[in-house]
Structure 1
């Protein structure tokens, strides 16, 4: 039995026809970033709202600087809001917006795919490395 015939071909230009291709590429780069994915999923697990220190503990391996810069980017892009409480020491909480919550479903789908396929990828890497 041969390969199945494709009825549709991917046209990368079609993705960007109705929008700015550079903006699409930039946003895909941002939302596909590992830290963005971990932060979005962690915020969801923490009830959609969390303090900086809670996020720092929830995201394995992230530095304070990277967490801060990624949260600023997410805030700028409208995916999280930041609330500063005038206390000593200052308390800052981040909350997902509706736009940020809309990213959960595709992000979780990607994570689910990784969970289901990581061993196959490792096996393929081993076979490749043995050659």
Structure 2
């Protein structure tokens, strides 16, 4: 005699799967956003490190060359798609860091002061990326 699942067993299974789904999916998206912020924070640190390296080399060699754009530094970071954790170039010294497909942090590079920064008052993710 073949035994099949009863209606109560099927209902309990669906309830358990629903509870797991309700708990797991928000945590998954939170982890993805956190990973994008950590990646962008590392990118900002790398860019600033390369700018400081150029500045130090300029001082040591007594050279007055200026780093007018970040073309050589940002080539591996710039992408065409606007997804989380990616960068795009707006103009000569303006860049966007994409936290996700909707949230963007705008960075400006000032070649006179060697400053690569965003505006904390405008972008809510700026402080998280520049800590």
TM-score (norm 1): 0.31
**Larger radius of gyration between Structure 1 and Structure 2:** 2
TM-score (norm 2): 0.31
Task: Tell me which protein shows more strand as a share of its residues.
Answer: 2
